[in-house]
Amino acid sequence: MSNMDQVITTDIYIGGDRRPASDGGTYDLYNPARPSELVGHATAATRADIDDAVKAAHAAFPAWAEMGYQARIDLMRQVAEMLGANEEDIKYRSRLFTREHGKIARETLMEMSRVGDRFRQAAAYGERIMVDEVMGPAPVGPQFDTIVTRQPRGVAALIVPWNWPLSILGAKLPQALVTGNTVVVKPAENSAMAPVLTLQMIAKMLPPGVVNVVTGSSRSIGDALTGHPLVRNVNFTGSVPVGRHVMKVAAENLTPVTLELGGNDAALVLEDAALNDEVFNKMYWGAFGSSGQICMAMKRLYVHESRYDEVVDGFTAACERAVVGDGLLPETTMGPVNNAKQLRVVTDMIAEARAKGADVRECGQVPDEELYNGGGYFQRPALVYNADPSLSVVREEQFGPAMPIMKFSTEAEAIALANDSEFGLCSSVWTEDAERAVGIAKKLEAGYTYLNGHGPMAQDGRGPFGGFKNSGIGRNMGYDGVLAFAEPHSISAPAGFLVD
């Protein structure tokens, strides 16, 4: 074991101080590629720790809000610079992230870099809010002069999932901070250590209590956080069942919530789509980046019947080039699924499709058969050709390396198939006709539609992100994602008092 791979223990962070749990509790995290390999111990916070963290954030709120936008903007930019300053530390946290999560090394490095970028973006949006406020009063009527300002709510509870914790953290944390909120962040239980180390670095750049970090089981501490009477905003990313529960708990205090709850994204390949190796490679990463464990991943591929065989051949060939194994190895392009429970979800879908007579092909190369079959949470990319719509691999979110490919005949049929889902997060349209692409996109029940691309590599962070139906409520990212953390405050006066 190298010095970079020593077993570590991460603390919680409350009121400017690192500390253990109030009862000294920890839990173990293991490498998904080698489940017997202990990576480290994370602190198992108690309900008392949650109370301390929320109260610390509440105490820090008045001064942080009073600081004003420009001072907070300056700090956001300083945090962004700090996050990218130490190359050796970035490598260390990225390697730790791969070992606790399983995703390939180049993806963890991409996540690390995104956090700083999103602090810069939030700072720019803070400047926009300042301009919007200074531009008042508006509108001016015959009886009143009115200015509409934005006020922070107070303590924000930010709950981050295990699949892309740092990237999703970047969609919540700087937005909450720049608008003047203080925060309690809870990373996912089974992907906590690298996010905690990163959050502690950020917290140390800010006044004590502005950023507080707790880790542990949501079953033990989740309700204590989302139902705390001093929490003024809950921003949750995760599963539909847990999202519903979060909303119920928050409702007891009428706490506003933002919920991003995943999706079952449909991709529509029209008859005039440009298809070549580069396009099929885009499709592969759109579907199977992070072993398919991405909320906005391509999860249902619908192809015009005239291009179906071409897409099947080209996409299958791209999947066959996948190299499945340890995410730390440079040749690996697909690591393990993060945990045994999620692996079972995917393998059960594949088994059901086979049992019902579907044509299923598992693709990809496995250089280390001993590792692959040695108990790690591995699954090669699995394609279900011409899948029956009743199969769970079509109806449900796989959140792993399995995907159905199906035919359609008409544009109307394609739109209907895409919208035939309880989810409505993202979608994509593949065509050479820009006007037609936009027209179809506007008919899709999705919060974000990609054209000739899909997933994180096709996403413009300036656009608000969130979904329809069971994919959630509200938006992160973009200017809308910043405004979600600030309440409008209208200030009116008799006509002539504010404007001559």
Active site residues: 260, 295
Rounded-to-integer distance, Cα 292 and Cα 299, Å:
8
Any residues with CB less than 8 A from the CB of 472 and at least 6 apart, and which? 243, 258, 259, 260, 261, 425, 466
Q: Are 456 and 167 in contact (CB under 8 A)?
A: yes
State how far the Cα of 222 lies from the Cα of 219, in Å rounded to an integer.
6
Query: Considering only CA atoms, which of 465, 467, 472, 483 is closest in space to residue 259?
Result: 472
The rounded distance, in Å, linking the Cα atoms of 366 and 373 is: 10
| CA neighbor of 421 nearest in space, from 262, 259, 302, 264 | 264
CA 50 to CA 217: how far, in whole Å?
Answer: 12
Burial of residue 355 (number of CB atoms within 10 Å: 0-12, 13-18, 19+): exposed
How far apart CA 68 and CA 88 sit, in angstroms, is 34
Query: Phi and psi at residue 216, in whole multiples of 5°?
Result: 145, -170
Verify cis geometry, omega within 30 degrees of 0, for the bond prior to 137: yes
How many CA atoms lie less than 13 Å away from 465 in the CB half-sphere?
A: 25
User: What do you get for the CA distance between the two ends of the chain, in Å?
Assistant: 73
